[in-house]
Amino acid sequence: MSGPTLELSQVSKVYLSGAARVVAVNHASAAFHAATVTAIMGPSGSGKTTLLSMLGLILRPSDGRVHLLGRDVTACDERSLPGLRREHIGFIFQSFNLFAALTALENVLVPLQLKKIAKAEAPARARQALERVGLAARTDFHPRDLSGGEKQRVSIARAVAAEAPVILADEPTANLDSRTGRQIIDLLAELARDQGRTVVVVSHDLRLQDHVDRILWMEDGVLQEGKHVPMTEPGVSP
Amino acid sequence: MAYPVSIARKNLFHDRVRLVITLVGISFSVVLILIQVGVYLGMMYNTASIIEHTDGDIWITARNNRNFDFSLPFPEARENKAKAVIGVESVKKLILVWSLMKLPGGGSENVEVVGFDPDSGVGGPWEMEAGSLADVKYNRGVIVDESSFSKLGEMKIGDHREIFGKKVRVVGICRGARRITTAPVIFTSYKTAQQLNPMARGATVFLMVKVAPGHRAEEVIARLRKVMRWEDVYSRDEFAWRTQLYWTLNTGMGVGFGFTILMGIIVGAVIVSQTIYSATIEHLREFGTLKALGASNRTVYGLILRQAILSGVMGFAIGMAVNVVVAHLYEQSGQIIIQPWQLFAGDFAITIGTCIAASLISVHRAMQVDPMEVFRA
Ligand SMILES: Nc1ncnc2c1ncn2[C@@H]1O[C@H](COP(=O)(O)OP(=O)(O)OP(=O)(O)O)[C@@H](O)[C@H]1O
Ligand SMILES: [Mg+2]
């Protein structure tokens, strides 16, 4: 195995809102490897989403470097970022972010058409991805006709079909009941183990910690290497 | 399932209510513009129809004449001056005077009496429904336009009426001769017309000049202007244009039509920008998601633009279909509506242009969206 897929070195993000200066992420460093599920946990407002946005090349750090597959992407110009996201990164969101007007299958096809995958290949790949997440019977359903867990599985299929080596998930289970949430985490873990993807999951959900390879703890913008958190720790919602 | 998936089209059809509002708004604006311009052009056609249906290359009128319908007579002997000019092949006289027709049931109506030369037929009716043009020569024969029946009552060949105390005889019914003044047109011989308004005695109202082969109209006009010192000399197009301009600018008609047309454009623009903007706001998260998935800004803006253009094309198509019906009904009421292809092309451009402009506002809004918005619950 070569170096890390994603690497943060001394990354900071400062928000300026009016006179206020919020240090959302404070000199965070971490490396993320293929075939590994990493959980980033921490209280609300600690900077987890901000960190994930920088990992996903959606947000530029105020300071520090982000390396994707060994390449310093902090130096990339704005116009090359969409292409990098398209090729390398799949997102899974707390609110699923499916396209309401499209069927499950069409939703999965969106990243494929952004990548200009040929017509001969794309539909088969999308169907396969939906099969992979157990939704072969739901391909023609619109999001409004799917349950929360099914919607999240469609969004996972969307990342699977795009064959992104990195999957970044922000609170993927927050809108789901615990059983469905478990299934989603298992699915993400499988993607890491079976397909060698680099999976990063941001979550409040402490029950997650037994199902991931590694935990990073975030508090007040500071990222620390894994520690197990007792389920009863005050100030952290289960 | 089509691939690539047309997100623009799917989004558009996903929200049916909004789509209906958008299309009603656009097509309403399209119909309003097409009909208003069509009616205006129809009226402009009417104002110049008698002029356009003559073969006179040059028109001579009393000095400072402003338009066809309100021209003053001048001595008919002036015809000889014009005839003597080099390059003039022929000169024909035409009278247009106002007079009063007594109605059978009492009362009277203002009429426009057109006196033409029955031998050449120039300046006379161009579409006969019944009777013969040449019959105006005898016994004060007149030809009435069928459109005037609503004002003058039904008439048939052989009927007698009274104009300015003179008994006239209906010898023909014609079609398509309407004046923008809404006064009925009575065609008769030049001689009879002179009897139906005392001002026209020994006078003509227009001289229509035909240019001899081998001569250029502009040169003949220049020569005529030198000779006809008390009259105005115009080319036919210039005279028609002058008449149309008079009705457009000096009567408030142009302002009226212009205002309605502007309203059509504004109503269309407001509805389009409103619906496209609200659709954009509603889809901001989806646009953010697209960007997160690796769509470039161009792709997202293209999507918004395509949505707008698609609305415009569909709205225009519906507007065109409604226009066909409305224009048909309007024509059935006996009015003229003129809609050249340039009108459709122009309105199409306006519609699509409005949609594009409206979508630019939305693009601007989409640009301002916080990229982290996609992560919000
Ligand atoms: N656009 C912004 N402008 C100013 N401050 C911001 C902005 N986005 C986030 N912040 C602040 O940065 C800090 C970290 O926010 P972030 O969303 O990354 O936290 P989080 O750990 O994901 O919280 P949660 O668990 O509630 O999702 C918070 O204090 C937040 O108020
Ligand atoms: Mg968050």
- Write the pLDDT tens digit of every residue in B100-113: 999 988 889 999 99
Average pLDDT of the residues of chain B: 91
Structure tokens at A127: 């169907």
Q: Do B371 and A171 touch (CB under 8 A)?
A: no
- What is the pLDDT at residue A236? 46
> Which DSSP state fits B259?
H
B14, B292, B296 member nearest A56 (Cβ):
B292
- What is the pLDDT at residue B362? 85
- Does the beta carbon of B83 lie under 8 angstroms from any beta carbon of chain A? no
Residue scoring higher pLDDT (A208 or B203): B203
Residue range B42-91, pLDDT digits in tens: 999 988 888 888 888 999 999 988 788 888 999 999 999 999 999 999 99
- Check whether A28 has a pLDDT greater than 70: yes
Give the count of domains, chain A.
1
Structure tokens at B145: 């336009």
Whether residue A16 is contained in a domain is answered as no
- Check whether B334 has a pLDDT greater than 80: no
C-alpha to C-alpha distance for A60 and A49, rounded to whole angstroms: 13
C-alpha to C-alpha distance for B98 and B112, rounded to whole angstroms: 5
- Check whether A235 has a pLDDT greater than 70: no
Pinpoint the alpha helices (H) of B141-235: 149-152, 190-195, 217-227
Regarding the beta carbon of A47 and ligand 1, being less than 6 Å apart is answered: yes
- Does the beta carbon of B6 lie under 8 angstroms from any beta carbon of chain A? no
Q: Which atom of ligand 1 is nearest to the CA of A13?
A: 12
Regarding the beta carbon of A61 and ligand 1, being less than 6 Å apart is answered: no
Residue scoring higher pLDDT (B196 or A205): B196
> Which DSSP state fits B372?
G
Whether residue A69 is contained in a domain is answered as no
- What is the pLDDT at residue A237? 46
What is the average per-residue pLDDT within A25-48?
94
User: Nearest bound ligand to CA A24?
Assistant: 1
Which residue type is seen at A175?
A: N
- Check whether B99 has a pLDDT greater than 90: yes
Instruction: Categorize the per-residue pLDDT at B221 as very low, low, confident or very high, splitting at 50, 70 and 90.
Output: very high
CATH number at residue A193: 3.40.50.300
- For A40-65, b/e burial (b = at least 16 CB within 10 A) is bbbbeebbbbbbbbbbbbbbebeebe
Residues of the domain holding A220: 33-53+78-225
Which of B5, B11, B284 best tests the A interface by mutation, with the highest count of A CBs <10 A?
Answer: B5
Q: Do A109 and B375 touch (CB under 8 A)?
A: no
Query: Which one, of A173, A210, A201, A223, lies nearest residue A38 by Cα?
Result: A201
- Check whether B22 has a pLDDT greater than 60: yes
- What is the pLDDT at residue A238? 43
C-alpha to C-alpha distance for A114 and A161, rounded to whole angstroms: 12
CA-based nearest residue in chain B for residue A110: B5
SS3 A95: coil
Residue scoring higher pLDDT (B58 or B377): B58
Whether residue A183 is contained in a domain is answered as yes
Name the pTM for this structure.
Answer: 0.82
- For B104-118, b/e burial (b = at least 16 CB within 10 A) is eeeeebebbbbbbbb
Whether residue A232 is contained in a domain is answered as no
Residue range A64-122, pLDDT digits in tens: 999 999 999 998 998 899 999 999 999 999 999 999 999 999 999 999 999 999 999 99
Which residue's alpha carbon is nearest to atom 5 within ligand 1? A15
Whether residue A63 is contained in a domain is answered as no
- What is the pLDDT at residue A10? 96
Please say whether the beta carbons of A65 and A9 come within 8 A: yes
Q: Do B5 and A53 touch (CB under 8 A)?
A: no
C-alpha to C-alpha distance for B87 and B221, rounded to whole angstroms: 9
Whether residue A13 is contained in a domain is answered as no
Q: Best of A14, A21, A48 to mutate for ligand 1, by most ligand atoms within 8 A of CB?
A: A48
Please say whether the beta carbons of B351 and B315 come within 8 A: yes
Whether residue A1 is contained in a domain is answered as no
Q: Do A97 and B290 touch (CB under 8 A)?
A: no
Regarding the beta carbon of A203 and ligand 1, being less than 6 Å apart is answered: no
Query: What would you report as the CA-atom Rg of chain A, rounded to the nearest whole angstrom?
Result: 18
- What is the pLDDT at residue B349? 95
Q: Percentage of chain B surpassing pLDDT 90? A: 64
Which residues in chain A have their CB less than 8 angstroms from residue B293's CB? 85-86, 91, 110-111, 114, 158, 162
C-alpha to C-alpha distance for B99 and B163, rounded to whole angstroms: 7
